[in-house]
C-alpha cells in the first residue's frame, strides 16, 4: 500500500505501464516515471534541508504532523 502521494502516483504509472501495448504511450509513461523520480529526490532533499535548518524538535514534529515533512 502506498504511503505518500508520490508512492501512489508511482504505483498508478507502473500499473498503467503493464497495460500498454503502444510504444509511444509506453515512452510517455516511462518519461513520467523518470520525472516523478526527480520530484521525489527534490522532495527528500527539501525535507533534509528543513530538518538541518530547523533545530526545534517541536516545530519539526508539527511540520511532520501537517504533512510538510516525512
What pLDDT is recorded for position 61? 83
Number of helical H runs and strand E runs in the chain: 3, 0
| Distance (Å, whole) CA 53 – CA 68 | 14
Average pLDDT over residues 50-58: 77
- Supply the pLDDT for residue 2: 60
Quick one: what percent of the chain has pLDDT higher than 70?
A: 97
The arithmetic mean of pLDDT across residues 33-44, rounded, is: 93
Is the Cβ–Cβ distance between 58 and 42 less than 8 Å? Answer: no
Domain boundaries, the chain: 5-65
- Single pTM value for the model: 0.67
Determine contact, residues 69/50, Cβ cutoff 8 Å: yes
- Distance from C-alpha of 28 to C-alpha of 70, rounded to nearest angstrom: 29
Average pLDDT score over residue span 33-56: 86
In this prediction, residues 30-51 reach a mean pLDDT of 90
55: number of Cβ within 10 Å: 8
Amino acid at each position: 500500500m502506498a504511503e505518500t502521494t508520490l508512492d501512489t502516483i508511482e504505483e498508478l504509472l507502473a500499473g498503467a505501464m503493464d497495460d500498454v501495448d503502444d510504444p509511444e504511450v509506453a515512452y510517455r509513461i516511462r518519461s513520467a516515471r523518470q520525472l516523478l523520480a526527480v520530484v521525489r529526490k527534490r522532495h527528500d532533499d527539501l525535507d533534509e534541508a528543513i530538518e538541518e535548518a530547523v533545530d526545534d524538535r517541536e516545530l519539526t514534529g508539527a511540520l511532520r504532523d501537517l504533512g510538510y515533512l516525512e
